[in-house]
Amino acid sequence: MNSMSSVLKKYFGFSDFRPYQREVIEEIIEKRDCLVVMATGSGKSLCYQVPPLVVNKTGIVVSPLISLMQDQVMTLKQRGIRAEYLGSAQKDSTVHSKAERGQFDILFMTPEKACSVSTSFWSNLLKAGISLFAVDEAHCISEWGHDFRVEYKHLDNLREVLVDVPFVGLTATATEKVRFDIISSLKMNNPYVMVGSFDRPNLFYGVKLLNRGQPFIDELVREISKEVASGGSTIIYCTTIKDVEQIFKSFSEAGIEAGMYHGQMNGTAREESHRLFVRDELQVMVATVAFGMGIDKPNIRQVIHYGCPKSLESYYQESGRCGRDGIASVCWLYYTRNDFAKGDFYCGDLKSENQRKAVMESLLAAERYCVQTTCRRKFLLEYFGERFSADRCGNCDNCKVTKKERDMSKEAFLLMACIHSCRGKWGLNMPIDVLRGSRARKILEAQFDKLPLHGLGKSYPANWWKALGHQLIFQGYLKETVSDVYRTLSVGSKGEQFLASSRPDYQPPLVLPLTAEMHGEEDNGNTQEFKNLSTSESESFSEAERHLYQLLLEERLKLARSVGTAPYALCGDQTIRKIALARPSTKARLANIDGVNQHLVTKYGDHFLQVIQKLSRELNLSLDGESSLQTNEVRKVSSIANKTKLTSVKLTSAKLTSTKLTSSRLTPAKLEAWKMWHEDGRSIQEIANFPGRSAPIKEQTVADYLLEAAQEGLAFDWVRFSEMIGLTVEIISEIEGAILKVGSTDKLKPIKNELPEEISYLHIKTYLSMRNCGISFETVQSEIHQTEEDDERAHNASNSSDPTLETCHVESHCENDMSAKCSTEYCYLEINEVPTLPVNGSEVHELPLAGEGEFLNKRQKVSETRGEANSTKLKATESSVVEWLKNLNEGATLSDALEHFNGSSEDSVVELLNCLECDFSIYRKGNMYRVM
């Protein structure tokens, strides 16, 4: 059995599971049935992909579409996973027999195939071992689901055949009813049910009114071509084939190659369109909703709806194909008022009143989504029964753009009074016509032209009134009732109250936001917001890095073409992004990047490294420059900070980078550690275990960080540090002796070998750092004495405690010496200028604390220890390192390894670790090496 973590890194390139994935995988390995309900793009498929690799037994996955299976097999093969599919389209005749012998890690099947293969196939495969039976898109099993497939209903027959095999259902859309159906249809036994959030935080949601016509389409094409230029993929969903063809034509005329997909195209043309889009050969797809179910492509950056879809369920599913790799992506919905009048059309020849009602209500919800003025995400999630506690998500158009507000009490009064007068028998159109003074026949017949309100609302266009009407519905002033395909409006109780307290010449104030429709013509077809809001995470890139990212995407495309696969199957955009930031120079560094799997390193590692080196040189970017995790962390922080402030996004991040470069070369983690130590007065131990951090870091690491900070010229209290790590005069003298003996300070190991065990690497490093900083230990030592004396004085004084004593050793020194107030930093500079006493062996004897006898004892001890060490010196070899790491659950740092393998040089240990990392025998998480 392989460990879950090592499978994750080796095949998928990640060092961390998302929380629910681990739980589900563990349950499956324990052979428990599972139902996984997760949003698209949340990593559901990993739940069935990992267990077969952990237990080394085939996993069976039932999937509804051949094209989807083919894409998944292609991706898995690029990860070095033995995957295949069985189905009518399978050309390789050996797959069946290989599958039967258990030669695949993951075997996909259509439901038809799963139900029709012989029992001998199953019994043979059972002998070889089956780790799980997964049903993907499991909502197809339910008649309540929108994609019901009758073959799914027969899958439960396999329950008796596949005894002791866990059944796993996975779906992205499931109501309570559908969930229940899946569990009972698959005869699941006490299943583990995991229902995740439907929130897709990386997706931006926006809605705009569309002005049908060529100018709007031209503007849309112009905007999308910008995304194309930066390497992003876009799907444009249209409600009619006519729209598909018109938009497709506009792209062609603009010289942009786009794909087209709709139900009237023949199968071959559709497949070709799908293939080209998936492989990034086409970056734009103009399609009806017929396109999409078989889409496994994770790097779609925009999903645009040209016309409102028929329900929010469809909208959530279609827009959900965007940004599955977690990178910030954009979903825009463009609608016209006419979209909401299509209820009749959608109901088609539905006979049952309930079904017609369901269709109408879905459409109504979609309309509400379009016309609302509050957070879109909150509305979407709450529609699907998920609570979203915040009022604003900060990543939708309504949250990002503050809408202008205005008192509309007068207009609201007119509209509500008119609806009241029409006695709730009409929708919005009739009362609006009355207000606008229409003399249409139906108005004259109903004698609405006699109403005192007739013609009082002429100054606004009909769409303005409709927008107001929807706001009033939304706010509960008006009530909309659906009966069959008709919608009627009446005044709700909140509206009644408003009317009761109003008179024709007075209304209580009613402040409402101005929607796009209310702003009038100037907003129509204007995609200004579109530009500003399609923020992408690339804001954390410098210009050169962004350029590198795009060039790397091109290289990935070339490579994918040459091996006949989709670019995303080689590695995701997110991974390319990290590579562009880290610019690794070695295979080990490449392997360490999240998302880089073993197969990629083994097969294309050299190629990638060459390309990175060449491009970085051309763009004047340093290799391994900012590869550290910490750097990425800061970028994250800065991009979050930027999110709250839309303006000057680039300025902020640029400023951040330049401060970082000018102040010091320290990584943020190091700077942070130094601040905690220097400014907050925390101990090394406290810093190491500081609760704000995701995982504690080693005390040793903290100490290293601090020493580095000191050497970078930051203010540093050496006295406090020496006390903290127990560095004494005796130890210093021992170290100096050892250095003299070794004759060099290039490597620590030989020095350490000369010293007794209790003298640590940290002691040596501290001594050397002090030396680098031009600090002599005598100065520090006198400080310690000074402090002790001060301490004593303080104790002797009647009003004893002086709070400054503890933290201000250096300050007190300054006061004595210069009788001037000074900051620690200032003192540090002063100390720096104190001429250092030459340190040599002879002085050691003069030190009062190290008596002659004591000293001799120590020397003896050194040689004894050395004698012992010689016999137990450990050499690092591939197997000894792996064996050693196997016993360390938390892993080990480089310095742990150096300390342990004291029989090998630092260089050779480093090289060995790098090799093992390249081979994926070990992997690194933070600065900890762990065994695969």
> Which residues of the chain form contacts with Zn ion (CB under 5 A)?
375, 377, 393, 396, 399
Distance in Å, CB of 390 to Zn ion, minimum? 8
What does the DSSP 8-state code read for residue 247?
H
Contact yes or no for 159/186 (Cβ under 8 A): yes
Query: Is 688 strand, coil or helix?
Result: helix
* Nearer residue to Zn ion within complex by CB, 82 or 392: 392
* Nearer residue to Zn ion within complex by CB, 377 or 436: 377
Distance in Å, CB of 389 to Zn ion, minimum? 13
Token output for 383: 């529609």
β-strand pairing of 258-261 with 284-287? parallel
Distance in Å, CB of 198 to Zn ion, minimum? 15
3-state secondary structure 496-565: HHHHHCCECCECCCCEEECCHHHHCHHHCCCCHHHHHHCCCHHHHCCHHHHHHHHHHHHHHHHHHHHHCC
Q: Which of 434, 247, 237 is nearest to 339 (CA)?
A: 237
Distance in Å, CB of 403 to Zn ion, minimum? 12
Q: Which of 673, 671, 585 is nearest to 625 (CA)?
A: 585
Contact yes or no for 234/301 (Cβ under 8 A): yes
State phi, psi for 571 to the nearest 5 degrees: -170, 155
State phi, psi for 58 to the nearest 5 degrees: -60, 140
Distance in Å, CB of 515 to Zn ion, minimum? 15
* Nearer residue to Zn ion within complex by CB, 42 or 373: 373
Token output for 249: 């034509």
**Sole residue written with tokens 């390192």:** 881
Stated length of the chain: 932
* Nearer residue to Zn ion within complex by CB, 399 or 912: 399
Contact yes or no for 262/282 (Cβ under 8 A): no
Gap between the Cα atoms of 590 and 751, Å rounded: 33
**Sole residue written with tokens 């999937």:** 63
Distance in Å, CB of 200 to Zn ion, minimum? 12
Distance in Å, CB of 331 to Zn ion, minimum? 12
* Nearer residue to Zn ion within complex by CB, 393 or 666: 393
Transcribe 683-710 into DSSP letters. -HHHHHT-TTSSS---HHHHHHHHHHHH
Distance in Å, CB of 491 to Zn ion, minimum? 30
What does the DSSP 8-state code read for residue 336?
-
Gap between the Cα atoms of 342 and 592, Å rounded: 53
Distance in Å, CB of 540 to Zn ion, minimum? 22
Residue 737's contacts (CB-CB under 8 Å, 6 or more residues apart) are 754, 841, 844
Distance in Å, CB of 643 to Zn ion, minimum? 12
What is the four-CA torsion angle of 591, 593, 597, 599, rounded to 10 degrees? -40
* Nearer residue to Zn ion within complex by CB, 330 or 415: 330
* Nearer residue to Zn ion within complex by CB, 397 or 734: 397
β-strand pairing of 233-238 with 258-261? unpaired
3-state secondary structure 663-676: HCCCCHHHHHHHHH
Distance in Å, CB of 256 to Zn ion, minimum? 31
* Nearer residue to Zn ion within complex by CB, 471 or 914: 471
Distance in Å, CB of 283 to Zn ion, minimum? 28
What does the DSSP 8-state code read for residue 154?
G
Distance in Å, CB of 799 to Zn ion, minimum? 60
Query: Is 796 strand, coil or helix?
Result: helix
CA distances from 91 to 81, 85, 118, 276, 673 (A): 20, 10, 19, 21, 60
Query: Quick count: other Cβ atoms within 10 Å of Cβ 459?
Result: 9
Distance in Å, CB of 469 to Zn ion, minimum? 23
Contact yes or no for 701/927 (Cβ under 8 A): yes
Distance in Å, CB of 397 to Zn ion, minimum? 8
CA distances from 73 to 83, 462, 557, 565, 780 (A): 5, 54, 19, 10, 65
Distance in Å, CB of 560 to Zn ion, minimum? 36
β-strand pairing of 130-135 with 922-925? unpaired
Give the rounded distance of the alpha carbon of 189 from its chain centre.
Answer: 34
* Nearer residue to Zn ion within complex by CB, 11 or 204: 204
* Nearer residue to Zn ion within complex by CB, 58 or 515: 515
Contact yes or no for 545/653 (Cβ under 8 A): no
CA distances from 283 to 273, 438, 689 (A): 11, 48, 48
* Nearer residue to Zn ion within complex by CB, 366 or 375: 375
Helix axes 852-872, 729-742, angle to 10 degrees: 50
* Nearer residue to Zn ion within complex by CB, 131 or 319: 319
Distance in Å, CB of 315 to Zn ion, minimum? 15
* Nearer residue to Zn ion within complex by CB, 210 or 393: 393
CA distances from 179 to 27, 191, 276, 359, 800 (A): 18, 11, 35, 21, 72
* Nearer residue to Zn ion within complex by CB, 332 or 460: 332
**Sole residue written with tokens 């089956």:** 130
* Nearer residue to Zn ion within complex by CB, 400 or 589: 400
* Nearer residue to Zn ion within complex by CB, 179 or 200: 200
Distance in Å, CB of 394 to Zn ion, minimum? 6
* Nearer residue to Zn ion within complex by CB, 393 or 516: 393
Residue ranges of alpha helices (H) inside 332-476 are 343-347, 353-371, 376-383, 397-400, 409-421, 429-435, 441-445, 462-474
* Nearer residue to Zn ion within complex by CB, 204 or 426: 204
